Amino acid sequence: MDPYAWTWTSEALILVPLITAAYFLALRGYPAPRWRIGCFLAAMALLLAVSVTPIHTLSMHFLLTVHLLQNVVLAEWAPLLVVLGIPPALAARLTRRGLVHALTHPAVALPLWLANYMIWHLPWIYDAALENPSTLLHLEHALYLFTGVAMWWCVFQDEPHRLGSGARAGYVFAAFVLGSPIGLVMALVPNAIYDFYVNAHHRVWGLDPLEDQQLAGMLMAVEQAVVFFAVFAYWFFRFLAEEERREDVDHHPTAA
């Protein structure tokens, strides 16, 4: 099998264009600046990249390292960009009531995202999903995306659950602290824990199963540290700036 073959999967070639078309239809009633549109299109490009390029082939047959990259894109990067791409007025409309309103609440979204992430990385469930790519794996990918969108929602959208800058910073820090052990455990355990990759008949990049797992865990931990720290730093420094302005107003009320 060619490890660098492209894969024409229906979930990418049908769903991604449909989601993109729906987004642009929604923009007719809820215009967005170019940077938001760019974020959304970048999210769609990432979804295509991990679904049809050799990334998908490598993840499905050869390397845990690449599969974890695919998972990170689906659960963290693409959802973050999707949330950034949605104009605030449309976000308020989508979350006005019902299930979406409830699922985007910080106290619901973060535990849901964490539980989903952790459950799918349990060895027996992880192996089962890879052995059933037309059913369980599609469900896994869909849940990564949906729970990721829910998790990032309150970080970048004000409706329906507005958080202050300090609360957003704390929320992102909690997500990092609670989510990072997944990658660290994989990097530190002394044995390869995923039978699917242990029993793989193909080896690439000169990695044995344990080396593959250790590299996968380290890269996942580094990625999460970079992305979550960047978002945390943005909101933390914004919080400090807001506090400084508030103190200036308190000390010089007539100037305000």
The verdict on residue 5 lying in a domain is no
3 falls within a domain: no
**Structural domain of 215:** 10-251
Tell me, yes or no, whether 137 lies in a domain: yes
Q: Taking residues 181-203, what's their average pLDDT?
A: 90
Domain count, the chain: 1
Query: In the numeric block, which tokens belong to residue 50?
Result: 């991990």
Residue 1 placed within a domain: no
> What is the per-residue pLDDT across 109-147, written as a single tens digit (0 to 9) for each?
999 999 999 999 999 999 999 999 989 999 999 999 999
- Do residues 139 and 201 lie in contact, with contact meaning Cβ atoms separated by under 8 Å? no
What is the reported pTM? 0.94
Residue 210 inside a domain? The answer is yes
Supply the angle between the helices 136-156 and 78-85 in degrees, to the nearest 10.
Answer: 50
In a domain, 256, yes or no: no
Domain assignment present for residue 32? The answer is: yes
Is 161 part of a structural domain of the chain?
yes
Q: Give me the mean pLDDT over the 68-92 stretch.
A: 97
Give 235's contacts (C-beta < 8 A, 6+ positions apart): 155, 165, 166, 168, 169, 172
pLDDT per residue as tens digits for the range 207-248 = 999 999 999 999 999 999 999 999 999 999 999 999 999 887
Query: CA nearest 190: which of 166, 171, 214?
Result: 214
The CA-based angle 180-125-104, given to 5 degrees, is: 55
What are the residue ranges of helices labelled H in the chain?
10, 16-27, 34-52, 54-61, 64-72, 78-85, 88-94, 98-103, 106-120, 123-131, 136-156, 165-179, 181-188, 195-198, 209-251
